[in-house]
Amino acid sequence: MDEGRKIGEVILDLKNISLRFGGVNALTDISFDVRQHEIRAIIGPNGAGKSSMLNVINGVYRPQEGEIVYLGKHRHDMDTYEAAKSGIARTFQNIALFKGMTVLDNIMTGRNLKMKSNFLLDALYWGPAQREEIAHRRKVEEIIDFLEIQHIRKTPVGRLPYGLQKRVELARALAAEPSILLLDEPMAGMNVEEKQDMCRFILDVNDQLGTTIVLIEHDMGVVMDISDRVVVLDYGRKIADGTPDEVRSNQDVIDAYLGVAH
């Protein structure tokens, strides 16, 4: 891991989060925190509540109990708009790109909260509206360069292969210049090379842009390699939390998820 990288204060603290859908307890009394600049992984078997956890963080789900402390502000639940506004961006497990739009337009949508122009100025496409559009385009092109997707910028995303779509989704999230990036299985369904690329991008984002990353991933090699701390969920409960080494040797985690080599 990079020597110069400093892990800072806690910026996101989740306290005693419980989430129920009818009679199903998706999350039960989960607490963990995320520190600035760290890569925080959430692992666990299918249905453990990992994605629900991300959905609670950015306000898609509202937990029945618990408290979310983000940037010093205490909340019972998040609101999607507020979450986006305050610098939480995410990608989805099943790619949630805008299929009918080009790569460029998809990434431009990521900057919508930074745009000030209204629809009347947009309609005239004149003066400030045009200047703003081009300034954002410049920023988006930096992200396109960063993620090495120059060659597909004008392609409708529906036509792209899966691995590239995942990358475009990351680009869209990065376009918002988030302080926390939530990645829901960014490497699912990828081959080894694509995984290596994605790992590189995640580490670069974390290192060069200083973005805090919360990531769900099933590839244990990747998780143990790149994350600073890991939280393990099982049946909606937290069963372990700590550095990759601590988690790897935790008996509960081995029983519930990792298993042993026979």
Partner 1 sequence: MFYRESGQFKATYAEDSEIFPIRQDKIGIAVILAIAFLGIPLLAKTGFLSDYAFTAILTPFLIFSLAALGLNILTGYAGQLSLGTAAFMAVGAFASYNFMLRIDGMPILVAFILGGLCAAAVGIIFGLPSIRIRGFYLAAATLATQFFIVWCLTKVGWFTNYSSSGVITAQKIMMFGYTFDTSFSKYLFVLSVVSVMALLAKNMVRTNVGRSWMAIRDMDMAAEVIGFRPVRTKLMAFAVSSFYCGVAGALFAYAYLGTVEPEGFNLDLSFRILFMIIIGGVGSILGSFLGSAFIVLLPILLNMFTHFLDSSIGVDVPSGIASSIELMVFGAMIIFFLIVEPHGLARLWQIGKEKLRLWPFPH
Enumerate residues 206-235 that contact partner 1 by CB under 8 A. none
Out of 149, 176, 187, 199, point to the residue binding partner 1 (CB under 8 A).
Answer: 176
Site for partner 1 in 103-132 (CB under 8 A): 105, 108-110, 112-113, 115, 117-119, 122-125, 129-130
State the Cα angle at 206 between 151 and 38, rounded to 5°. Answer: 155
**Smallest gap from residue 177 Cβ to partner 1 (A):** 12
Q: Which two tokens stand for residue 124?
A: 């005239």
Q: Is residue 60 close enough to count as binding partner 1 by CB under 8 A? A: yes
Shortest distance (Å) from residue 181 CB to partner 1 = 12
96 binds partner 1 (CB under 8 A): yes
The torsion angles phi and psi of 54, rounded to 5 degrees, stand at -60, -40
* Rounded distance between C-alpha atoms, residue 135 and residue 63, angstroms: 39
Size of the site for partner 1 (CB under 8 A): 40
Q: From the list 6, 74, 76, 99, which residue makes contact with partner 1 (rule: CB under 8 A)?
A: 99
CB of 158 to partner 1, least distance (A): 9
Q: Candidates 81-89, 190-198, 214-222, 242-250: pick the segment binding partner 1 (CB under 8 A).
A: 81-89
Task: By CB under 8 A, tell whether 138 contacts partner 1.
Answer: yes
d(C-alpha 200, C-alpha 138), whole Å: 23
**Distance in Å, CB of 179 to partner 1, minimum:** 14
Cβ proximity to partner 1, 17 vs 173, nearer residue: 173
CB of 152 to partner 1, least distance (A): 15
Task: Enumerate binding residues for partner 1 (CB under 8 A).
Answer: 58, 60, 80-81, 83-85, 89-90, 92, 96-101, 105, 108-110, 112-113, 115, 117-119, 122-125, 129-130, 133-134, 137-138, 141, 172-173, 176
